[in-house]
């Protein structure tokens, strides 16, 4: 990539290069761009050529298909080539079905069983119009939903649209499907970019969890069964074999006789025999299908004694029990032993009698009882997440933001989910979670203008937590030195000590890059834990 290249003249995408991009897009996303999409691909990738000052599509392909390009550019590449058309109350008959048929049945089921629980997945949620429409439909039918456990998972492969969705702010031209009454109930006017826009109110946002998910990944970080999966106007971009695989996987995540809703131009004819059409591209899972499908493959932590795992489910300590444990474990501060939150400068943690757990790269630890968790990080990230009300917290340690198929806590996309859900398993409330994260040092130099591993890790951690709506209370990232991190799980306090750059200590940091610690299929079944 040459800074002197003239990018003022628009490059042309040849048929030969388009075929290369066809294969690359399909391998990453499962989307097949037909021959008619060549002009579309050219126009969408043009902005990446301008941003990177690359003179040809061939050169861009050579870059993005390298290991470094995959790490640095894949997210931007995917964001460019995916389609994000969406509207509020699009194909309104689907929401009529929920309100008039499905929700009454679920309410009747709840009256018989006492299980007041609903799970809906908005797969390929784009900028959020669909999940927020679902949330409005739910609020209109159930009111405040007192006593009901209702959650919407909203996923998409495109991180840029997920940021818009989680923010929940829309321009006037994006609000055409929302009538005046719905605007009054579920939106408020805000000033943004010099114009009046509309922001979704909190009682809708509270129902939704936004998550990046790529249908082509061999495993999905979801451990839940859904009453409805909405995957509308997505399969039209897949070939028939990819459609079959996707719908087959959806079966694994549906309750018996639950529903799959697809787009108006889509059909399951020739794709799946596991569903019965009930009209308007709404399908019901046939009786017995769930019993014969394999269980979802979910990244799972190890058993109780491993530092990579959350403890097995156990009775949550009472407030009084926690108070006594804290009093016994934490000595009063003294002049030389005073706990301090991490800030711009390092702090030392004194000896306080707490049980200690040390983790390395690819591991995480969560605890509902007072504990000191420690690790050494260089370019890696240690994220500390906690619920200070229930006094549950933990730490992970990951090496890279994402894997390419491997399910392992060395990668942030899995390490974050596993830690969060271990904390929830131990009694933490996701709505109250807070975070601190550390590391991302430049211990391995990158070339001029090239992001280091540490910088990418730090950006991933910040973007992930912002997308999840988990407040970042403190962070200490960057620099050229490793650091020792200590986290007091029940208090949410963190301490960082820089590591002097002696050869021995530098070696100790580099040894964090250890062989992967697999965390697949190694935890007891816990039906109450849901990875979203």
pLDDT surpasses 60 at 430 = yes
Comparing 321 with 263, which gets the higher pLDDT? Answer: 263
| Alpha carbon distance 491, 497 (integer Å) | 19
- CA distances 492 to 340, 389, 484, Å, are 11, 10, 16
> CATH for 319-331+342-510?
3.30.1330.200
Q: Is 156 a catalytic residue?
A: yes
pLDDT at 302: 33
Burial class of residue 201 in the structure, from the number of CB atoms within 10 Å of its CB (0-12 exposed, 13-18 middle, 19+ buried): middle
Number of Cβ within 10 Å of residue 37's Cβ equals 19
pLDDT at 304: 29
**Average pLDDT of 432-445?**
85
pLDDT surpasses 80 at 339 = no
Q: What is the pLDDT of residues 10-62, one digit of tens each?
A: 678 898 988 888 888 887 777 777 887 888 888 888 888 888 888 898 888 88
Comparing 72 with 178, which gets the higher pLDDT? Answer: 178
Q: What is the pLDDT of residues 120-142, one digit of tens each?
A: 999 989 889 999 999 999 999 99
> CATH for 15-81?
1.10.155.10
pLDDT surpasses 90 at 213 = no
487 contacts 497 by C-beta, under 8 angstroms: no
**Average pLDDT of 273-284?**
94
SS3 breakdown of the chain: % helix, strand, coil, rounded to 5? Answer: 35, 20, 45
pLDDT at 34: 80
Comparing 120 with 1, which gets the higher pLDDT? Answer: 120
pLDDT-based confidence at residue 115 (cuts at 50, 70, 90): confident
pLDDT at 1: 43
pLDDT at 406: 57
Query: Which range, of 42-51, 211-220, 294-303, averages the lowest pLDDT?
Result: 294-303
Domain spans in the chain, listed from the N-terminal domain onward:
15-81, 93-292, 319-331+342-510
Q: What is the pLDDT of residues 477-490, one digit of tens each?
A: 988 888 999 999 99
Burial class of residue 146 in the structure, from the number of CB atoms within 10 Å of its CB (0-12 exposed, 13-18 middle, 19+ buried): exposed
pTM of the model: 0.54
pLDDT at 522: 29
232 contacts 91 by C-beta, under 8 angstroms: yes
Residues whose CB is less than 8 angstroms from the CB of residue 293 and which lie 6 or more positions away in sequence, other chains included:
248, 251, 252
Residues whose CB is less than 8 angstroms from the CB of residue 82 and which lie 6 or more positions away in sequence, other chains included:
29, 31, 157, 158
Q: Is 87 a catalytic residue?
A: no
pLDDT at 184: 95
Catalytic residue, candidates 17, 72, 156, 274:
156
**Average pLDDT of 341-358?**
55
Average model confidence (pLDDT) across the chain? 78
pLDDT at 408: 65
- CATH architecture assigned to 93-292: 3-Layer(aba) Sandwich (3.40)
pLDDT-based confidence at residue 383 (cuts at 50, 70, 90): very high
pLDDT at 138: 96
The CA R_g of the chain, rounded to the nearest whole Å, is 24
**Average pLDDT of 137-165?**
87
Residue 358 tokens, joined = 């040390």
pLDDT-based confidence at residue 345 (cuts at 50, 70, 90): very low
pLDDT-based confidence at residue 387 (cuts at 50, 70, 90): very high
pLDDT at 295: 44
pLDDT at 259: 97
């Amino acid at each position: 990539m040459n800074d002197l290249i003239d990018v003022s003249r628009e490059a042309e995408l040849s048929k030969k290069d388009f075929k290369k991009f066809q294969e690359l897009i399909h391998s990453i996303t499962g989307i097949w761009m037909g021959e008619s999409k060549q002009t579309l691909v050219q126009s969408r990738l043009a902005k990446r050529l301008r941003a990177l000052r690359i003179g040809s599509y061939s050169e861009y392909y050579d870059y993005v298909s390298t290991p470094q390009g995959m790490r640095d550019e894949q997210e931007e590449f995917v964001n460019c080539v995916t389609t994000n058309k969406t509207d509020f109350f699009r194909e309104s008959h689907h929401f009529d079905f929920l309100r008039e048929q499905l929700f009454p049945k679920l309410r009747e089921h709840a009256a018989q069983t006492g299980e007041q629980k609903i799970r809906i997945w908005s797969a390929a949620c784009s900028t959020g119009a669909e999940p927020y429409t679902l949330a409005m439909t739910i609020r209109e039918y159930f009111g405040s939903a007192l006593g009901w456990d209702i959650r919407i998972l909203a996923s998409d492969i495109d991180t840029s649209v997920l940021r818009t969705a989680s923010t929940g702010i829309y321009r006037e031209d994006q609000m055409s499907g929302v009538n005046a009454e719905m605007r009054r109930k579920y939106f408020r006017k805000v000033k943004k970019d010099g114009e009046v826009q509309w922001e979704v109110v909190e009682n809708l946002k509270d129902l939704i969890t936004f998550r990046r998910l790529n249908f082509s990944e061999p495993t999905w970080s979801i451990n839940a069964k859904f009453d409805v999966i909405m995957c509308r106007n997505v399969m039209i971009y897949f070939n028939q074999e990819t459609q079959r695989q996707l719908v087959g996987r959806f079966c694994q995540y549906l309750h018996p006789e639950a529903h799959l809703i697809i787009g108006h131009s889509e059909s399951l004819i020739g794709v799946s025999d596991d569903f019965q059409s009930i009209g308007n591209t709404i399908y019901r899972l046939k009786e017995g299908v769930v019993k014969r499908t394999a269980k979802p493959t979910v990244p799972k932590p190890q058993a109780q004694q491993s530092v990579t795992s959350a403890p097995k489910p156990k009775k949550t300590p009472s407030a009084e029990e926690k108070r006594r444990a804290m009093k016994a474990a934490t000595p009063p501060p003294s002049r030389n032993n005073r706990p301090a939150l991490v800030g711009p400068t390092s702090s030392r943690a004194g000896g306080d009698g707490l049980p200690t757990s040390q983790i390395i790269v690819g591991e995480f630890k969560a605890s509902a009882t007072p504990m000191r968790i420690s690790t050494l990080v260089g370019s890696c990230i240690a994220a500390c997440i906690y619920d200070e009300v229930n006094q549950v917290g933990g730490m992970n340690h990951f090496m890279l933001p994402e894997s390419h198929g491997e399910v392992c806590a060395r990668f942030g996309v899995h390490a974050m989910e596993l830690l969060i859900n271990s904390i929830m398993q131990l009694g933490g409330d996701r709505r109250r979670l807070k975070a601190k994260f550390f590391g991302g040092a430049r211990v391995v130099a990158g070339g001029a203008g090239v992001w280091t591993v540490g910088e990418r890790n730090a950006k991933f951690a910040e973007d992930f937590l912002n997308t999840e709506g988990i407040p970042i209370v403190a962070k200490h990232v960057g620099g050229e030195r490793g650091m020792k991190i200590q986290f007091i799980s029940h208090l949410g306090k963190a301490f960082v000590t820089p590591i002097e750059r002696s050869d021995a200590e530098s070696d100790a940091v580099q040894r964090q890059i250890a062989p992967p610690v697999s965390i697949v299929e190694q935890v007891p079944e816990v039906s109450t834990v849901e990875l979203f």
